[in-house]
Chains A and B, each alone.
Chain A
Amino acid sequence: MTNRFTLITGASSGIGEKCAVELSQNGRIILSGRNYDKLDIVRNKCINSNDHLIWCIDLANNRMDIFNSLSSFLKENDIVIESFIHCAGITKILPLRNFIPQYVDQIFNTNILSALEILRVLLKKDNKGSLTNIVLISGLWSIRGDIGNSIYAASKGAINSLVCSLAQELAPKVRVNAILPGAILTPMTMNLLLNSELSDKISKDYPLGLGTLEDIVNYIIFLLSEKSRWITGQNIVIDGGRSTK
Chain B
Amino acid sequence: MKTIYEQLAELLEVDVVRDEEVLEDFESWDSLTVLSIIVMASENYNLALRAEEIRELKTIGNLVSKLKK
Contact = CB atoms under 8 A, between A and B. Distances in A.
Interface of A: 92-95, 97-98, 147-148
**Could you say which interface size class chain B belongs to?**
under 10
Contact of A147 (B10, B11, B35): B35
Contacts of B31: 147
B14 to A, nearest CB: 14
Contacts of A97: 32
Query: Per DSSP, are chain B's interface residues mostly helix, strand or loop, or mixed?
Result: helix
11 contacts: A92-B39, A94-B35, A94-B36, A94-B39, A95-B35, A95-B36, A98-B32, A147-B35, A148-B32, A148-B35, A148-B39
Contacts of B36: 94-95, 98
A147 B11 CA distance: 16
Interface string B1-41: 00000000011000000000000000000011101100100
B2 to A, nearest CB: 12
Nearest to B43: A92
A97 B31 CA distance: 13
